């Protein structure tokens, strides 16, 4: 049985904070609700972070409103605080981790350079590559540049993190299903893809005026994007077909009742 890793504790003015590299926060050891984010609560200076720390509240603040109460704290990069944990998380030897900044390790620098040089990301839709163009809100077939699939034809999931659509791989088109269908449509599947942040965080940051580095820290560029394929048997379609058949049967029974004579003639 493997041993649990001993938490790394960073002390700020006598208060211990556990380093959580998964959430990229410092969490107060005796108050788990108090978290200080490396991303939104600190300024990343490459070799270290700068933190404005409220000595009374033991929390991060965002302006030096009282020099007697707020102190500027220098915090090492997570690669320096917890090289073992960062090594395990990102699959690099510890000696390579120590020489990198958090941004360099968390965000694939080659992928970022390519994206900044205008190379658009791609996603696999049922075995075929499509170019993601958020500027035009579309997915273009990578080999033929046709067909073009509008992202507006996808539905946003309830959690807001994905898009879903019914898709015909042979036609390479998003399709609308008849709400009164009575059998499975031939060849149709359901696709789930990431939302704009997951598809292209660089374009999303530019489009919505967000901090590019901060968004990339939270949502690094994903390699080998691939749509999740769901057979219709695993969607709400079987229940829809069942309801439609039951409604049709009930309609037939109602029609039969209407045309049935109430009193048979006597001879």
254 — pLDDT class (breaks 50, 70, 90)? confident
Q: Which of 15-19, 132-136, 228-232, 257-261 has the lowest mean pLDDT?
A: 257-261
266 — pLDDT class (breaks 50, 70, 90)? low
C-beta separation of 244 from 182 below 8 A? yes
Instruction: Return the percentage of the chain with pLDDT > 70, whole number.
Output: 96
pLDDT of residue 265: 59
Tell me the average pLDDT across 221-241: 93
pLDDT of residue 38: 97
pLDDT of residue 1: 43
Tell me the average pLDDT across 101-122: 95
pLDDT of residue 106: 94
User: Is residue 107 classed as helix, strand or coil in its secondary structure?
Assistant: coil
pLDDT of residue 223: 86
- Mean pLDDT over each residue of the chain, to the nearest integer: 93
pLDDT of residue 239: 94
pLDDT of residue 262: 61
Tell me the average pLDDT across 229-249: 92
260 — pLDDT class (breaks 50, 70, 90)? low
Tokens 């904070």, residue located: 17
Q: What is the pLDDT of residues 78-96, one digit of tens each?
A: 999 999 999 999 999 988 8
145 — pLDDT class (breaks 50, 70, 90)? confident
Tell me the average pLDDT across 257-262: 70
Rounded (10°) CA dihedral 161, 165, 169, 172: -100
Strand ranges for the chain from DSSP E = 9-12, 15-20, 25-28, 35-37, 42-44, 48-54, 59-61, 70-76, 122-125, 128-133, 138-141, 148-150, 155-156, 162-168, 173-174, 189-194, 225-226, 228-230
252 — pLDDT class (breaks 50, 70, 90)? confident
69 — pLDDT class (breaks 50, 70, 90)? very high
- Residue 159 structure tokens: 């959690």
pLDDT of residue 257: 78
CA–CA gap between residue 84 and residue 94 (Å, rounded)? 6
Predicted confidence (pLDDT) at residue 144 exceeds the cutoff of 90: no
DSSP H helices, 121-190, are none
């Amino acid at each position: 049985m493997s041993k649990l890793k001993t938490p790394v504790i960073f002390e700020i003015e006598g208060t211990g904070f556990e380093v959580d590299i998964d959430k990229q926060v410092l969490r107060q050891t005796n108050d788990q609700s108090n978290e200080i984010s490396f991303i939104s609560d600190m300024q990343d200076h490459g070799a270290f972070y700068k933190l404005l720390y409220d000595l009374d509240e033991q929390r991060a603040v965002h302006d030096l409103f009282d020099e007697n109460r707020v102190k500027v704290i220098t915090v090492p990069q997570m690669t320096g605080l917890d090289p073992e944990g960062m090594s395990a998380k990102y699959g690099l030897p510890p000696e390579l981790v120590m020489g990198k900044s958090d941004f360099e390790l968390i965000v694939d620098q080659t992928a970022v350079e390519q994206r900044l040089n205008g190379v658009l990301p791609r996603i696999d839709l049922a075995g075929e590559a499509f170019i993601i163009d958020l500027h035009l809100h579309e997915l273009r077939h990578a080999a033929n540049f046709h067909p073009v699939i509008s992202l507006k034809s996808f539905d946003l999931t309830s959690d807001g993190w994905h898009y879903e659509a019914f898709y015909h791989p042979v036609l390479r088109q998003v399709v609308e299903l008849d709400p009164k269908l009575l059998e499975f449509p031939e060849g149709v599947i359901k696709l789930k893809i990431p939302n704009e942040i997951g598809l292209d965080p660089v374009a999303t940051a530019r489009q919505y005026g967000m901090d590019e580095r901060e968004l990339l820290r939270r949502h690094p560029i994903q390699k080998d994007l691939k749509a999740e394929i769901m057979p219709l048997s695993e969607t709400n379609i079987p229940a829809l077909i069942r309801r439609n058949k039951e409604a049709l049967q009930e309609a037939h029974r109602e029609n039969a009742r209407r045309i049935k004579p109430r009193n048979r003639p006597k001879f």
